[in-house]
Amino acid sequence: MKLTNLASLDPQITASGRKGLAGASALDRAVWKELQSNWDTTALAAHDSYTRFTGAQPETPEAEAPETWTHTEGRTRTALVRVRANQHLFRRAVLSSYNSTCCISGLSDERLLIASHIVPWREDHHNRLNPQNGLCLSALHDRAFDQGLITVTPEYLVLVSPALKRKSADSFLADALLRYDQSTIKLPERFKPLPDFLQWHGQHFGY
């Protein structure tokens, strides 16, 4: 019941026609507001509390994308481990939301999937763990997205850079990237990407 109280505050849930329960308290509203204002702090606090109260062993993070390590100079080992743990939480939330399927190509092998930040890790410290700042992409599409060779509009359409379109004679490129131009991504079950983040990405790369 507590979760459905919180669901009533989630605009993505209410926009789908579901309402949750109407008994959300002032504390529920305060918690929801705090989560939305700083996903990193709140998500980590929740994870730490869960681990402490259940006695669960922290999960061992798997290897992550190079973006994780972009600004790690001078950090202590504890800080580096924390960075990896943070990225692991983000990856788990994003892949779970997309049912471990690339939202562009449909690839469903987790070994080839990346939880890709829309607004990069280094640009927004408050939304590093926000799964609404994530897309589940194949390694190839993640790289193309990170380089601005493709973007996703606030309307969830894939756009391919004109720089790639000029290479239409490349059959692999045509099949792997060009054919998805103007296609709609597969939306996640939870944590639909926020249009503001997608707009930032498109504008940053000149779309």
| Domains identified in the chain, total number | 1
Each residue's pLDDT tens digit, 49-98: 877 888 766 554 444 444 444 444 454 555 545 555 678 889 999 999 99
Strand segments (E) across 66-163: 113-117, 134-138, 150-152, 158-160
Instruction: State the pLDDT at residue 94.
Output: 96
Residue 104 within any structural domain of the chain: yes
Is residue 184 situated within a structural domain? yes
Rounded Cα–Cα distance for residues 130 and 120 (Å): 12
Q: What is the pLDDT of residue 128?
A: 85
The answer to whether residue 23 is domain-embedded is no
The parent domain of residue 118 ranges over: 57-204
Q: How far apart are CA 194 and CA 22, in angstroms?
A: 25
Is 138 within the bounds of a domain? yes
Residue-level pLDDT at 119 = 96
- 145 inside domain: yes
Domain annotation covers residue 148: yes
SS3 132: helix
> Position of tokens 């002032």?
26
Does some domain include residue 47? no
What pLDDT is attached to residue 48?
77
Q: What is the pLDDT of residues 137-195, one digit of tens each?
A: 999 999 999 999 999 999 999 999 999 998 878 999 999 999 999 999 999 988 999 99
d(CA 6, CA 8): 5
